[in-house]
Chain A
């Protein structure tokens, strides 16, 4: 105790009352009894609390004041910071807090279905069942793992591998243990519910192709989104691992088909495990596409092409609307090879295939139009007045121009021919003569009127425009003057001429419908999930050729003869006579290469790739044509034998279906049957008209009707 008192004595306190100091330090030399000492020594009875050593305490007051300033400064800093965090950036941090705690799992939207023109399903979805593990406890339990491997009949290591791959991902994302399991397995898992506490069955829509590879170039396929696509895509709609249309309509109509993803929202804790379920949203199914394609006709076309292992294209189009009923490119693509990324080997095989399955020949294949082009030469000649239907041209089997001889396909010559026979028998010399009278530039002008040389604007990828040669074009392209001799080749559709099968179909449609160029269409209507029509097809006129109905009719007459006359080149395209339908068409044989070494070989001995392409394009019925069909068979040698039969089959099928349908509807819709009667009458009239060649009145009458019909 004594020690502590001693300590107390040493505490010095400056006494201000006894000295008047100049500086506080100097008078501190004197020791006075401190109040503490006083308090302690004098006891509690007389504490001298009034005596305060002010000078020394003044120093402390100053220090305390500056401390006060420090405290104020720091507290101001804290309040400012608080203001900044909570008020200035409060919204930002609120969003961060929400993104911290709210996790959402996307629910895939069922993709829109694709139907044909009669409502038959081409592509739909089916539910596919995946087995997922919801990591509630994040512990792998041997018990359920053993159970599951037994039920799935899989290897434990395979499951563990999948779990290991997901180890780094946030806890709320389920681990996919098995994909697209069959219904029986689903049932087995559901029955063992109690043993598999954290295992769930996840339902995901998957694409089903009801007709296999039918119209594969048109419909396309889907695949996992790649980096390029993801970079370009709207980040709110797509994320890695999503499926996206890769080709064809699946790609072009992605915005219609995809629908909107739904979300399961949940609140998670810092470890990412679910705490409670929040309000989510249901996925919105994509829009359905109804195509103009008729699957049965399409199937017929594809089967015809496949039966002879042919490469080529088949187009069937409504002459008065531009609706495409058939759009086939042969050979078909094997879509299953593309799903999930195509293997290098399969890709190479496709590239090396001489039939070029990767090329969509309908719009990407460019071929000389060959004799099908003669319709344009004929029409241009009539429209420009350089020929009349009766202008005779003598065909001796060849024609001398400059210092070259231009042959007719018929060595013996056709003798004296006028327009109708020239078209029916495809006399080259006749069209050389007409072409020379017109000149290449006038020919080009008319070719463009029929839509050649331009993309048609159809909803397909990588469409080619083809080439309509003219003197301007040649100067620009090769910087060389046009030679008259080249006009001869052009006038029979050879030379620089290049067209796609779709363009030829379009051209035929213009001839058939009396001068209106329609944009070809494949989508009839788009219907949303509520069954409302989002948009529907309206015929779209690109251009009209006015006042030429009569001349076009003359071309049609020539084409009708080509199919129906004894010496016609397209006899194979005739339709079963029971329907009374008359077809008009034009064959074509496009030279691939003219090599001397192959000249005298028999056709079968020419190597495949040097054989000529076969064309056939036609319309039906002869009066008020409804449809046009264009067939191109690559290296098919002759339009008449390779291409025309395909068109004939298609037309047969088309009219069969049509009359069966009308027959079925007859009692319900009497007006239809009246139409049919009228149609039959027309056809009879037409047949009569064909018998008497110069009944112009009937022709005019028909022409007016046709024209009026279009304008409605």
Chain B
């Protein structure tokens, strides 16, 4: 492996745009995290420093990922996938439930949530699988058996934790990626009807009572104002009361007086919207939008099928999580445990998202011919 070539390409085609967007969003997230975990008179909270540490770790991880061609990384995808499955299995078997769910592995300095990297490992194996399978005229149903198995394993393990929404995110990513590669119409129709059937079945038999209640609450929020409907209502009040320019840094009342639930994790955006108003929210969303558009641009301009699928999968990962989180914060969805990538507090989520960004940058860097290279 010649490090010289890498260096040159890194310098020439390095994806500065993506890195800049990542830094901007991360900066905004730290401003917000400082405020949402601020305790009067004590300054920045330990949580704030912990997240800074995760970011630094994430940067090192990104650097490491960028040094290696994504093709090489893809080759490790099954190994990573297998490792993640083991971790998921371990959580299910050996971890004591925290408030009814087994999601975290205690690593001493940090609680790993394996379902977060599971999403990324899924993208890796699916990209590998789709890029390898050659299906003229589009994928037939039997071409989807292998990807189907690949999604089913982590889906089942995560659902068992239980963490419905992370499991669903995996599904959504799978569906997005499957639709991204070419499907036959017949396959699409069959899959569509199967999906519809399984949603109905899931509603009837699979969902836990509290999950069903959350969805029912969402459909009729007044019926349950003090519980989940209350959280959504408080979130809407926080966002709405921000008005155009917001209440100002550290001056949000909804967040600081504990009206907002999960204010530094799932509802981080509500705190931001309250303190910085429409102007600040639009700026943050603009950055996000640009980051995603840039990611899609990378997928479009990738030099090969694998790169395109991989970049697309990473964009889908960030996009769907962001969308679901924002919809929840603004009262379009029930309370779901989906963080806003980069913006919400959480080490596993941040590291996973940064790795996804690194993969997009990786594809970007390697989609151009070397301009002054040896030809």
Residues of A within 8 A of B (CB): 4, 7-8, 10-13, 25-26, 28-29, 34-36, 39-40, 44-47, 49-50, 52-53, 56-57, 59-61, 63-65, 67-68, 71, 74-75, 78-79, 81-83, 85-87, 89-94, 96-98, 100-101, 267-271, 275
Chain B positions 289-329 with a Cβ under 8 Å from a chain A Cβ: 289, 292-293, 296-297, 299-300, 302-306, 308-309, 312, 315-316, 319, 323, 326-327
Q: B53 on the interface (CB 8 Å rule)?
A: no
How far, in Å, is A553 (CB) from chain B's closest CB?
79
Say whether, besides A13-B304, A82-B282, A93 and B134 are in contact (CB < 8 Å): no
Q: Are A86 and B303 in contact (CB under 8 A)?
A: no
In the complex, chain A residues whose CB is within 8 Å of the CB of B241: 90, 93-94, 96-97
Q: How far is the CA of A33 from the CA of B334 in the complex (A)?
A: 50
Q: Are B277 and A86 in contact (CB under 8 A)?
A: yes
The B interface, classified by DSSP as helix, strand, loop or mixed, is helix
Q: Are B273 and A82 in contact (CB under 8 A)?
A: yes
Cβ contact of B75, chosen from A4, A46, A53, A79, cutoff 8 A: A4
Q: Are A93 and B240 in contact (CB under 8 A)?
A: yes
How far, in Å, is A512 (CB) from chain B's closest CB?
70
Assign chain B's interface to a size class. 35 or more
Q: How far is the CA of A7 from the CA of B326 in the complex (A)?
A: 39
How far, in Å, is B315 (CB) from chain A's closest CB?
7
In the complex, chain B residues whose CB is within 8 Å of the CB of A94: 240-241, 243
Q: B332 on the interface (CB 8 Å rule)?
A: yes
How far, in Å, is A657 (CB) from chain B's closest CB?
65
In the complex, chain A residues whose CB is within 8 Å of the CB of B259: 100-101, 269-270
Cβ contact of A44, chosen from B1, B239, B244, B305, cutoff 8 A: B1
Q: How far is the CA of A7 from the CA of B72 in the complex (A)?
A: 11
In the complex, chain A residues whose CB is within 8 Å of the CB of B243: 86-87, 90-91, 94
Q: How far is the CA of A430 from the CA of B78 in the complex (A)?
A: 130
In the complex, chain B residues whose CB is within 8 Å of the CB of A25: 136-138
Cβ contact of A7, chosen from B132, B312, B374, cutoff 8 A: B132
Select the stretch in B21-29, B87-95, B250-258 that faces chain A: B250-258
Q: Are B237 and A28 in contact (CB under 8 A)?
A: no
Which residue among B254, B257, B323 has the maximum number of chain A CB atoms within 10 Å of its CB? B257
Q: Are B296 and A64 in contact (CB under 8 A)?
A: yes
Q: How far is the CA of A52 from the CA of B305 in the complex (A)?
A: 10
Chain B positions 44-81 with a Cβ under 8 Å from a chain A Cβ: 69, 71, 75-76, 78
Q: Are A49 and B75 in contact (CB under 8 A)?
A: no
Say whether, besides A78-B285, A82-B281, A83-B278, A29 and B136 are in contact (CB < 8 Å): yes
Task: Specify the chain A residue showing the minimal Cβ separation from B253.
Answer: A101
Cβ contact of A64, chosen from B2, B238, B299, B303, cutoff 8 A: B299
Task: Specify the chain B residue showing the minimal Cβ separation from A37.
Answer: B71
Say whether, besides A85-B330, A86-B240, A67 and B315 are in contact (CB < 8 Å): yes
Q: B5 on the interface (CB 8 Å rule)?
A: yes
Q: A25-B136, A28-B136 are in contact. List 20 more A-B contacts (CB 8 A).
A: A7-B75, A11-B306, A36-B304, A52-B303, A57-B303, A59-B182, A60-B180, A60-B302, A60-B312, A63-B179, A63-B180, A67-B312, A68-B293, A71-B296, A78-B327, A83-B278, A85-B239, A86-B239, A93-B240, A94-B240
Q: B85 on the interface (CB 8 Å rule)?
A: no
Say whether, besides A44-B1, A71-B292, A97-B237, A81 and B330 are in contact (CB < 8 Å): yes
In the complex, chain B residues whose CB is within 8 Å of the CB of A267: 253, 257
Say whether, besides A35-B303, A65-B300, A45 and B2 are in contact (CB < 8 Å): yes
Task: Specify the chain B residue showing the minimal Cβ separation from A85.
Answer: B240
Q: Are A39 and B273 in contact (CB under 8 A)?
A: no
Residues of B within 8 A of A (CB): 1-2, 5, 69, 71, 75-76, 78, 128, 131-132, 134, 136-138, 179-180, 182, 234, 236-244, 253-254, 257-259, 273, 277-278, 281-282, 285, 288-289, 292-293, 296-297, 299-300, 302-306, 308-309, 312, 315-316, 319, 323, 326-327, 330-332, 366, 368-370, 374
Q: How far is the CA of A89 from the CA of B304 in the complex (A)?
A: 48
Q: Are A57 and B304 in contact (CB under 8 A)?
A: yes
How far, in Å, is A352 (CB) from chain B's closest CB?
51
Say whether, besides A67-B315, A79-B285, A87 and B136 are in contact (CB < 8 Å): no
Q: Are A53 and B242 in contact (CB under 8 A)?
A: no
Q: How far is the CA of A79 from the CA of B285 in the complex (A)?
A: 8
In the complex, chain B residues whose CB is within 8 Å of the CB of A270: 234, 257-259
- Could you write out 28 A-B pairs with CB less than 8 Å apart? A7-B78, A10-B132, A28-B134, A34-B304, A36-B306, A45-B374, A49-B370, A50-B369, A52-B303, A56-B305, A57-B302, A60-B302, A64-B300, A71-B296, A74-B323, A75-B288, A75-B289, A78-B327, A85-B236, A86-B240, A86-B281, A93-B237, A93-B239, A93-B241, A94-B240, A97-B237, A101-B257, A271-B258
Cβ contact of A90, chosen from B240, B281, B300, B366, cutoff 8 A: B240
Q: How far is the CA of A61 from the CA of B304 in the complex (A)?
A: 11
Q: How far is the CA of A201 from the CA of B332 in the complex (A)?
A: 48
Say whether, besides A50-B369, A79-B282, A83-B278, A269 and B305 are in contact (CB < 8 Å): no
How far, in Å, is A17 (CB) from chain B's closest CB?
13
Q: Are B304 and A78 in contact (CB under 8 A)?
A: no
In the complex, chain A residues whose CB is within 8 Å of the CB of B234: 100, 270
Q: Are A82 and B239 in contact (CB under 8 A)?
A: yes
Task: Specify the chain A residue showing the minimal Cβ separation from B327.
Answer: A78
Task: Specify the chain B residue showing the minimal Cβ separation from A62.
Answer: B300
Say whether, besides A44-B5, A64-B296, A93-B237, A13 and B305 are in contact (CB < 8 Å): yes
Q: Are B242 and A86 in contact (CB under 8 A)?
A: yes
